[in-house]
């Protein structure tokens, strides 16, 4: 029977009776959130609710962490419950329960929670601030803080010691400590109060509301509805966590799926400036199997998921190789060094992962087609937010292809967005167009923080009557540092580049060369000529990166597919 007191909950966590289901994601709370949680408890505030699912069915689970170490990547170790084991799986409240355990029984970054037993005074404090001073400290840090009060006197003791005091003896223990520390009557009153609060805190069953699902074993909720409960309480009813449901269902048959995917994600992101995710890898495995990639559609068919759990592991070696190869192509050939360029997420990359998983060796020509395809897919946004389109294109044109289907991709882009040339493509994605201009942006080695702005001021061009498309042409933009942009205003470029602001160095010939600019381009009256000349330079730079002349790149958009092929492709896009 569940004990809803804090003491009961922590004991049941310690005994592995309250555990985490496979769908739960990592612990993410920082120290300050835990401090506020403990302050709320000591002040007698309610701290929310947890939802536990009592189940006697076989489930994959992991233990709540006893000691939180944010410096070490979280690698999950899963176990399988026995039939009728009566585990309580945490559907909601993982962060609170893990924090409470770290504070009262465990550690956070190898440190225990200490409380200043002379804190708690509300005088001169805003109710939104902590009254009680709790911190994760080493023993030596606690002594140092206690000996150097820095104003008001302080004395830090481990909260684990304070909660172990018998509530009956809490007041006398506090008075004994007060005599030892030679406290004033006011300080003695304060330490007595906090001793009593700490000694009684774990016996409280009202501070944390405990909601149970299926406490009555005679009336069991179907697994699909339990999983839906989890999604709704964690995402407001949205489908944002459907991948967690899918992972939990797959985990019942493929027991090591989560640690294997975690290891793979760490490997493909190692030494690369990207943040590929578990969901990206899972989708690529589904594509390799020829399955649906929309998680919300998959989770409604448990039998299909069980079959996938049997077949997906066989694709791990080829998918791993494909992601590693794609990472090298993105940096070495595409010269993309930042997550900021993947507008619309990583969906655009999945067709290429499948292709590389099926083609271990690439000829120079095929590698070039992949590079061009990556730029076409990302710059056009053809697959951003269009899971069905990405899936149907990949299944129809990529799976089993002898060479990457660049012509089919460019024709899809042309039909949907009217893109017919390299120039049209560059207009679709300013950041990537400027990345090409730089030959791969490495400015300040921190492309995430760079801003972009017009070279010739927009306000003056609009006042002069230039149309929107001309004012905002990619050739009239450049990357600049944030502090430079603060001072830009509407100063003419021939003046601004030489004096970008107070205490800021002028732009050098090398700075302009990196932007494919010349001082002559910036002279008054040269706006239209600058657009033509710099636009041509950017397209020439694109030729170097993409490996083909502009005319041949544009030619891919001009070659039409047959009517029947178009009709079939459009039908697949609508699925």
Q: What is the DSSP string of 58-118?
A: --EEEPPPSEE-TTS------EEPPTT--EEEEEE-HHHHHHHHHHHTSEETTBEEEEETT
For 68, phi and psi rounded to 5 degrees? -95, 125
Q: State residue 571's pLDDT score.
A: 47
Return the higher-pLDDT residue of 128 and 351.
351
Return the higher-pLDDT residue of 85 and 446.
85
Q: What is the mean pLDDT of residues 566-573?
A: 47
For the chain, percent of residues with pLDDT exceeding 70: 91
Q: State residue 567's pLDDT score.
A: 47
Q: What is the mean pLDDT of residues 300-324?
A: 92
**For residue 9, pLDDT beyond 80:** yes
Q: Which two tokens stand for residue 310?
A: 């049997």
Q: Which two tokens stand for residue 495?
A: 């003046």
> How many Å apart are CA 527 and CA 535, to the nearest integer?
12
306, HSE (Cβ side, Cα atoms, 13 Å): 4
> How many Å apart are CA 309 and CA 302, to the nearest integer?
10
Q: State residue 444's pLDDT score.
A: 52
- Residue showing tokens 């594509």: 287
78-87, 191-200, 306-315, 457-466: lowest mean pLDDT where? 78-87
Query: Do the beta carbons of residue 122 and residue 43 sit within 8 Å?
Result: no
Query: Do the beta carbons of residue 64 and residue 17 sit within 8 Å?
Result: no
> How many Å apart are CA 23 and CA 46, to the nearest integer?
27
529, HSE (Cβ side, Cα atoms, 13 Å): 9
Q: State residue 221's pLDDT score.
A: 80
Q: DSSP 3-state assignment of 156?
A: strand
CA angle 134, 137, 140 (to 5 degrees): 130
Q: State residue 488's pLDDT score.
A: 57
Instruction: Provide the mean pLDDT of the chain.
Output: 88
Strand pairing partners for 53? 89, 213
How far are the Cα atoms of 19, 72, 264 from residue 259, in angstroms, in the given order?
17, 15, 9
Q: State residue 188's pLDDT score.
A: 95
105-119, 124-138, 209-223, 521-535: lowest mean pLDDT where? 209-223
Q: State residue 224's pLDDT score.
A: 67
Q: Which two tokens stand for residue 25?
A: 């994601």
Provide CB contacts within 8 A for 84, sequence distance 6+: 56
How far are the Cα atoms of 15, 47, 183 from residue 66, in angstroms, in the given order?
11, 21, 36
**For residue 285, pLDDT beyond 70:** yes
**For residue 469, pLDDT beyond 80:** yes
Return the higher-pLDDT residue of 205 and 265.
265
Burial (CB count <10 Å: 0-12, 13-18, 19+), residue 68? buried
Q: State residue 572's pLDDT score.
A: 44
> How many Å apart are CA 453 and CA 451, to the nearest integer?
7
Q: What is the mean pLDDT of residues 142-166?
A: 89
Strand pairing partners for 19? 89
Q: State residue 405's pLDDT score.
A: 95
**For residue 239, pLDDT beyond 50:** no
Q: State residue 575's pLDDT score.
A: 47
DSSP 8-class letter at 111:
B
For the chain, percent of residues with pLDDT exceeding 90: 64
The CA-based diameter of the chain, rounded to the nearest angstrom, is 94
**For residue 363, pLDDT beyond 50:** yes
Q: State residue 362's pLDDT score.
A: 93
**For residue 46, pLDDT beyond 50:** yes
Q: Which of 354, 239, 249, 254 is nearest to 304 (CA)?
A: 249
> How many Å apart are CA 279 and CA 240, to the nearest integer?
11
Q: What is the mean pLDDT of residues 201-213?
A: 90
Q: State residue 487's pLDDT score.
A: 56
Number of Cβ within 10 Å of residue 151's Cβ equals 5
Q: State residue 253's pLDDT score.
A: 82
């Amino acid at each position: 029977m569940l004990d809803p007191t804090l003491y009961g909950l922590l004991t049941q966590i310690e005994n592995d009776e309250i555990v985490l289901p496979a769908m739960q994601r990592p612990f993410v709370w920082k120290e300050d959130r835990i401090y506020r949680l403990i302050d709320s408890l000591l002040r007698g505030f309610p701290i929310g609710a947890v939802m536990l699912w009592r189940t006697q069915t076989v489930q994959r689970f992991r233990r709540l962490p006893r000691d939180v170490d944010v410096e070490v990547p979280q690698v999950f170790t899963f176990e399988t419950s026995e039939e009728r084991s009566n585990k309580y799986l945490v559907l909601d409240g993982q962060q609170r329960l893990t924090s409470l355990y770290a504070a009262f029984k465990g550690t956070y970054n190898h440190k225990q929670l200490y409380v200043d037993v002379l804190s708690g005074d509300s005088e001169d404090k805003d109710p939104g601030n902590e009254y009680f001073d709790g911190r994760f400290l080493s023993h030596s840090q606690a002594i140092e803080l206690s000996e150097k009060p820095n104003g008001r006197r302080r004395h830090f003791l481990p909260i684990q010691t304070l909660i172990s005091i018998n509530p009956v003896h809490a007041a006398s223990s506090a008075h004994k400590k007060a005599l030892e520390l030679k406290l004033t009557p006011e300080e003695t009153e304060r330490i007595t109060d906090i001793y009593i609060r700490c000694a009684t805190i774990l016996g409280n069953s009202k501070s944390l509301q405990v909601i149970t699902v299926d406490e009555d074993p005679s009336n069991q909720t179907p697994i699909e509805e339990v999983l839906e409960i989890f999604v709704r309480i964690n995402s407001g009813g949205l489908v944002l966590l459907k991948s967690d449901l899918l992972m939990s269902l797959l985990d019942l048959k493929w027991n090591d799926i989560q640690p294997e995917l975690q290891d793979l994600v760490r490997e493909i992101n190692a030494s690369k400036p990207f943040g590929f995710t578990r969901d990206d890898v899972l989708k690529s495995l589904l594509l390799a199997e020829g399955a649906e990639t929309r998680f919300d559609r998959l989770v409604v068919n448990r039998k299909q998921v069980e079959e996938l759990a049997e077949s997906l592991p066989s694709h791990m070696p080829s998918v791993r190789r494909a992601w590693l190869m794609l990472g090298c192509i993105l940096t070495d050939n595409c010269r993309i060094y930042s997550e900021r360029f993947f507008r619309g997420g990583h969906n655009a990359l999945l067709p290429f992962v499948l292709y590389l998983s099926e083609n271990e060796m690439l000829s120079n020509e095929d590698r070039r087609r992949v590079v061009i395809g990556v730029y076409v897919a990302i710059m056009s946004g053809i697959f951003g937010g269009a899971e069905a389109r990405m899936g149907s294109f990949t299944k129809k044109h990529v799976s089993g292809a002898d060479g990457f289907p660049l012509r089919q991709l460019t024709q899809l882009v042309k039909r949907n967005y009217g893109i017919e040339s390299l120039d049209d493509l560059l207009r679709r994605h300013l950041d990537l167009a400027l990345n090409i201009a730089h030959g791969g942006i490495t400015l300040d080695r921190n492309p995430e923080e760079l801003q972009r702005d017009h070279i010739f001021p927009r306000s003056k061009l609009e006042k002069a009557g230039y149309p929107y498309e001309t004012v905002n042409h990619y050739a009239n933009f450049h990357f600049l540092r944030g502090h430079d942009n603060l001072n830009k205003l509407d100063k003419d470029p021939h003046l601004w580049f030489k004096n970008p602001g107070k205490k800021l160095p002028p732009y050098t010939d090398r700075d302009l060369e990196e932007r494919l600019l010349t001082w002559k381009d910036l002279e008054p009256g040269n706006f239209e000529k600058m657009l033509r000349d710099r636009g041509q330079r950017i397209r020439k730079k694109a030729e170097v990166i993409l490996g083909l002349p502009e005319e041949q790149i544009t030619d891919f958009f001009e070659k039409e597919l047959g009517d029947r092929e178009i009709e079939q492709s459009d039908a697949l896009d609508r699925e």
